[in-house]
Chains A and B, each alone.
Chain A
Amino acid sequence: MIEVEKLSKRYEGRPVLEGINAVFSPGEVTALVGPSGGGKSTLLRCLNGLESFDAGVVRVGPDTLVPGDVRAQGEKVRRIRRRVGFVFQQWHLFAHRTALGNVTEAPMHVKGMGRPEANERGRALLAKVGLSHREDAYPSELSGGEQQRVAIARALAMEPEVLLMDEPTSALDPERVGALIDLLEQLLADGLTLVAVTHEMRFAYELASRVLVLHGGHIIEEGPPARVLANPHHERTRAFLGLGRVPALRTLGA
């Protein structure tokens, strides 16, 4: 679905990503983990053209992003973005639109869907994320968890094949994490491909089919969560996970 080849990016002279190669296959759930500043979020943002890069390519279906200014790559970038949804860490709901308005905005104005159809489908999506009763609420009136659900519904309204999530659990109360994992499991049953940057090992454990560990702009380890998180090969992965917590994680996964 998405192929990344020799992707490199520097920021103010400092390398952020160095020769990343990765494939995200349909239906696969990937957790990008690693220490802060390791390049996880940057890699994620490169996957739908929110971030430009200096070398390598990103292939999404038939379209290929090349190094240089993303804005100059025009229609191609927009085609990619329609297939690859993005849920921001801080959600960024449109502040001047209701929950339903947030969900219907892109289908109506990007896809040209009529209002009745967009509303009907928007309501169905809000029902799916458990927010039927909040469709007329503005973002400022919604809790953090509710805003995230609207953001997920907004991304899904474009019927993407891939959903990218940046730190989906970081702004949630711990007791909400389980509910999010339940919701995503439900959505993944529909065949969605998911790539999520996360610090939450429980999220990686319970949801991911694969874990990528980024450190210093390199993928230093890759594999199923049970293996990578419980028995990391790379010393830095062990350091990052914290040796003391490895047994606890193993119990959790069992």
Chain B
Amino acid sequence: MAGSLTHARRSPSLSQAIRPSFLLPSVLALLALLSACGAEQDSGLARVRRTGELRWGADAQGGEPYAMEDPDAPGGMRGFEVELAEALARELGVRARFVQNDWSSLVPSLERGSFDVALNGLEVTPSRSGRILFTRPYYIFQLRLLARRDDAAVTGLDALKGQRVGTLANSLAWDLLRRSGVEAVPYEGVEEPYIDLEQGRVRAVLMDDIIAQRYGQPRPGLRVVGDVGDGYYAIAVRPGEEDLREALDTALRNIARSGELRAIFQRWGIDNAEQQRMVDWTDAQSREVLAPAQTARMGWGQWVLFLQAAGVTLLVSVGAMVLAIPLGVGLALTRLYGPGWAARLSTGYVELFRGTPVLLQLYVLYYGLAGVLRLDPISAAILGLGLNYAAYESEVYRAGVLAVPRGQLEAAMALGMPLRLALRRVILPQAFRVALPGVANDFIALLKDSSLVSVISVVELTKRMTITAVDVRSWLIPGALCALMYLAMSYPLSRLARHLEARLERG
């Protein structure tokens, strides 16, 4: 009954139950219920029927052919899963309502009750089976390996031992890659791995055939190596809502037998002979496919991976700061003392990098400019965050420089110092003293912002936590460990900042 605490509802039968003769047993029953699962609530199916809606969670960013925004009908959705959701809702006698949710957090969002089911190319993996309920599968897909056309050495997974192979994090392909002894590189979108394959930043990409067909195979530089396994898409239901799962199983069987399911697949060009198995699918097959694997544990291996990820976080943060500090100083000084055009350029830089999301900047730097600037993920992460933080640093230093009395510069100039020398010897040392607490503060913020670089396939601390949380089917220990490691890095910095502030007040 996990998850029921998060959306306890007032029971409609509670007031009827409270009558003198029933009071004691009722209270006891209520207490037992409260201790068991928080409070009584609608079961899954009853809730769907009562609200008249089947709320299905998916990520429109997943794109064609799953579920995406309809370019012809703003606000509307299209995709084979949109049609599937509508057919299933019709079978249940309700309306389907799409709920947008980031793909990587579909399962946690389902658990906390953001929607009734997750229906978005969710592959049946042992770790997911242990955490949530799956309906019978609705689609059988192939795991398709792609490599560069000019790279004939890639003949299969065996030929890729120790090589970087891209895929979606926590997907079936991800599990397979990690078992195969290759270096699995996690991505959060379907297009990015293929861009990186073209750029040579990964050696191969392993993804579901639907994705490969749409996003990989059309690229002229890439070729299909082959299919290395198959898997199933199924609908995820909250644990404890077996009645909803059974209703959906029935609905799925009905639309499979009526031919509607394959008709949907045909409309979206993803139908093949394999899908006939969906028609004759049995509960026994479901039990076999959906059997959860044994839960992985937080072993020493996980600790080592966490430490490595913390190292990546530290490397990216320190590298970005080392870049941001001199660049920030240059920007601040240019803005304050440079010629008009340079000062305007510097102001423009600050406004641009401070005024647009760093996530977008990382995307542009890593994927957008890949044709002219081929950076490896770590370098791109350091450069991207460094360029972004330079904008913030420049404002901290500008404030620091402005805090130095004007007479200091005049005094230096009156001694015959050129401007540069006066800035270096007189103004900056004093400005740094003022700016230091702000710089330390920014560095702590940077430590945490560095988690954004997971969008360009860098596995840092936060990404490691989400990967591990899926593996061990709990957020508790990985989350606590992740928080502890961030604290272990940021707390000494806070202390340093306080120490510097205290020294400044004395000085």
Contact = CB atoms under 8 A, between A and B. Distances in A.
Interface stretch (B208-216, B264-272, B310-318, B417-425): B417-425
Interface in B401-423: 405, 407-408, 410-419, 421
A79 B418 CA distance: 10
Contact of A110 (B411, B415, B419, B430): B415
B407 A78 contact: no
Listed from nearest, the 10 A-B pairs whose CB atoms lie closest are A92-B407, A92-B411, A106-B415, A86-B414, A82-B416, A81-B416, A78-B416, A110-B416, A96-B429, A96-B430
Interface string A75-109: 00011011001101010111110000000011001
A48 interface: yes
A50 B412 CA distance: 11
Nearest to B407: A92
Interface residues of B, number: 20
B313 to A, nearest CB: 34
A78 B414 contact: no
Contacts of A90: 407
Nearest to B412: A94
Contact of B418 (A78, A94, A140, A154): A78
Contact of A81 (B405, B407, B414, B426): B414
Contacts of B418: 78
Contacts of A94: 408, 411-412, 426
Contacts of B408: 92, 94-95
Contacts of A92: 405, 407-408, 410-411
A158 B410 contact: no
A71 interface: yes
Contacts, number: 59
B430 A109 contact: no
Interface residues of A, number: 25
Contact of A154 (B415, B419, B433): B415
B401 to A, nearest CB: 14
A95 B429 CA distance: 10
A38 to B, nearest CB: 21
Interface in A133-148: 138, 140
B325 to A, nearest CB: 19
A85 B411 CA distance: 10
B161 to A, nearest CB: 58
A61 B419 CA distance: 23
Which of B405, B408, B414, B433 is packed against the most chain A CB atoms within 10 Å? B414
Given A71-B419, A88-B407, A92-B408, A50 B414 contact: yes
A50 B410 contact: yes
Interface in A119-176: 138, 140, 154-155, 158
Nearest to A87: B414
A50 B416 contact: no
B430 A95 contact: yes
A82 B416 CA distance: 5
9 contacts: A50-B413, A71-B419, A82-B416, A88-B407, A88-B410, A92-B407, A96-B430, A109-B421, A110-B417
A96 B419 CA distance: 18
A93 B411 contact: yes
Contacts of A138: 507
A109 B299 CA distance: 59
Contacts of A82: 415-416
Given A81-B413, A88-B407, A94-B412, 7 more contacts: A50-B413, A81-B416, A88-B411, A88-B414, A94-B408, A94-B426, A105-B426
Contacts of B430: 95-96
A107 to B, nearest CB: 9
A92 B410 CA distance: 8
Contact of B417 (A93, A109, A140, A155): A109
A206 B88 CA distance: 105
B48 to A, nearest CB: 70
A85 B415 CA distance: 7
A108 to B, nearest CB: 9
Given A78-B416, A158-B415, A109 B425 contact: yes
Contacts of B421: 109-110
B162 to A, nearest CB: 53
A154 B421 CA distance: 17
A93 B407 CA distance: 9
B414 A85 contact: yes
Which of A71, A90, A95, A140 is packed against the most chain B CB atoms within 10 Å? A95
Contacts of B425: 105, 109
Which of B405, B413, B421 is packed against the most chain A CB atoms within 10 Å? B413
